[in-house]
Amino acid sequence: MTRINLTVDGAKVADDVEPRMLLVQYLREKLGKTGTVIGCDTSNCGACTVHLDGTSVKSCNVLAVQADGAQVTTIEGLAATHDGGELHPVQEAFRECHGLQCGFCTPGMIMQTTALLAENPDPSEEEIRLGLEGNLCRCTGYHNIVKAVQHAAAQGRSEGVSS
Ligand code: FES
Ligand code: FES
């Protein structure tokens, strides 16, 4: 077992974990953060995307011990870390633009989108598609997801909120 200390969705946690435990397993099984989902076993789908020190990562591709000392934000903490429980503007945009059907890919899509917009608040359609290429959706055909990202970007520019 290895001791880790990290901050998850604004709360400090300390735990002993197996060195081989994946971050996604740690979040789901030890912390009960089941909003972060597992959609594949090949690091392809992006459903497990979280932010590690502000950068989006596939949490099935990161060991829990690699998050030692880091700040982790999951879909469950996005609203809370943004504005005290209100939906994050990217969550609102996905809701308004119907950027989901079954919703399985949505946590990862939203986490990836917030990281994308933090880096590039005014992305072109091509940049959005490129930025989300590591996140797979089997339902929507991506059209409304792109619209949701464009909507969130426009909102962010008008309200000065992009992350
Ligand atoms: S579960 Fe992590 S990429 Fe699919
Ligand atoms: S909404 Fe079903 S996988 Fe994307």
* Beta pairing, strands 2-8 & 49-52: unpaired
The secondary structure of residue 34, as a DSSP letter, is: T
- CATH value at residue 153: 1.10.150.120
Whole-angstrom CA distances from 87 to 23, 82, 90, 126, 162 are 25, 8, 8, 26, 13
Examine the domain organization and report whether 96 and 58 are in the same domain: no
Q: Are residues 146 and 92 in the same domain?
A: yes
Cα of 62 vs centre of ligand 1, distance in Å, is 11
Same domain for 57 and 92, yes or no, is no
CATH number of the domain within which 69 lies: 3.10.20.30
Integer CA distances (angstroms), 13 to 21, 31, 58, 91, in order: 16, 9, 20, 26
Choose the final residue of a domain: 27, 56, 77: 77
Statement to judge: residues 7 and 29 lie in one domain: yes
- The bound ligand whose nearest atom lies closest to the alpha carbon of 48 is 1
For ligand 1, mutation pick of 22, 28, 40 (most atoms within 8 Å of CB): 40
Distance between first and last Cα of the chain:
35
Give the structural domain span for 139. 84-159
CA-nearest residue, atom 4 of ligand 2: 137
Tens digit of each residue's pLDDT, the chain (163 residues): 999 999 999 999 999 999 999 999 999 999 999 999 999 989 999 999 999 999 999 999 999 999 999 999 999 999 776 666 688 999 999 999 999 999 999 999 999 999 999 999 999 999 999 999 999 999 999 999 999 999 999 998 877 544 4
The whole-model pTM stands at 0.94
92 and 68 in a single domain? The answer is no
Q: What would you measure as the largest C-alpha separation in the chain, in angstroms?
A: 48
Neighbours of 83 (CB within 10 A): 12
Same domain, 57 and 72: yes
> 19 and 47 in one domain?
yes
Q: Are residues 69 and 127 in the same domain?
A: no
Assign 3-state DSSP to the chain and report helix, strand, coil percentages, each to 5.
45, 15, 40
**Number of structural domains in the chain:** 2
- The answer to whether 33 and 76 are in contact (CB under 8 A) is yes
